[in-house]
Amino acid sequence: MARLRASLILVGFLGLTLASMPIQAFLVLVRAKAARNLPCYYHRIMIRLLGVTVTVKGIPPTAPALLVSNHVSWLDIPALSAALPLSFIAKREVAGWPLFGWMAKLQRTVFINRESRISTHASTKEIEARLQNNEVLVLFPEGTSGDGKSVKPFKSSYFSVVDQLSVPVIPVILAFRGQHGLPLTKRQRPSLAWYGDMDLLPHLWAALKAGPITLDVRFCEALPKAHRKVIAKQAEATIRKGLVEALHASPDLG
């Protein structure tokens, strides 16, 4: 039964994605405003198709804003994108992933190559321009994904743009809380969290077979203007504390 369910979801995902990609490609090509909004609608449908119940807490921000979030899984992308129109900041390697790299490009992701100072400078300038153009961007400052139970140290270099612009920096907490209406067990978490040396495709298939998921997306208040190192520490502390509170809150798993 689980295999059949996963197969049907996969067919639905591919059908919706392949139908949406040429439309979004055209919107991006002509620089239409709808290019910002279509991914939001796409991911709202995708979340329902995947059987993910997303509970949004706090108030999603208005543009411009820089959202900083803990990173747990590939599910972070549709969960955040379903909440409001936004784009992501990602490492350069993502652009080369089969299918998902194209999807990231079509969502107008800013790719960063930390190994090249010139490339990093160009990416920072693009981020500044996008924020000045009244957009919302998402940064995962851990630099990698984790197990969903804790938060890795934030890299302050990722916050360099805050020294140049006065845009709201808003911490966002992603907490995977349940499956099949029950709290997640320690054994279940690896089927949802994608981290370490896990291969993506087998993990995706296992997650599709795993069943309905409950995920909290909590938008915090904007942090006060400060130097990037201070902002990084404040954002990390806020998200770490909020994640602990979310994972230990009374069950409300639908």
> What is the 8-class DSSP label of residue 207?
H
Angle subtended by helix axes 2-29 and 34-50, to nearest 10:
180
Structural domains for the chain: 2-247 (3.40.1130)
Residue 253 has pLDDT above 60, yes or no: no
SS3 129: helix
Check residue 166 and give its pLDDT: 87
pLDDT tier, 119 (very low <50, low <70, confident <90, very high otherwise): low
Alpha-helical segments (H) within the chain: 2-29, 34-50, 76-81, 100-106, 117-132, 200-210, 228-247
% the chain with pLDDT above 90: 56
pLDDT mean over 10-27: 95
Dump pLDDT digits (tens) for 59-111: 999 989 999 999 988 889 999 999 999 999 998 888 998 888 999 999 999 99
Residue 10 pLDDT > 70, yes or no?
yes
d(CA 174, CA 57): 10
32-36, 110-114, 222-226: which has the minimum mean pLDDT? 110-114
* Residues forming beta bridges with residue 176, ordered by sequence position: 215
Please list, residue by residue across 98-113, b when 16 or more beta carbons sit within 10 angstroms of its beta carbon and e when fewer do.
eebbebbebbbbbbbe
For residue 217, the surrounding DSSP H or E stretch is strand 213-219
* pLDDT computed for residue 103 by the predictor: 95
Q: What angle do CA 188, 46, 246 make, to 5 degrees?
A: 45
pLDDT value at position 67?
A: 97
Q: How far apart are CA 177 and CA 183, in angstroms?
A: 6
pTM (global) more than 0.85: yes
Helices (H), ranges, 149-199: none
**Is the per-residue pLDDT at 221 higher than 90?**
yes
Check: CB of residue 110 under 8 Å from CB of residue 126.
yes
Q: Which long-range contacts (CB under 8 A, 24 or more apart) does 123-130 make?
A: 123/89, 124/160, 124/161, 127/89, 127/161, 128/161, 128/164, 128/165, 130/87
- Say how many C-beta atoms besides its own lie within 10 A of residue 206's C-beta: 16
The per-residue pLDDT for 191 is 65
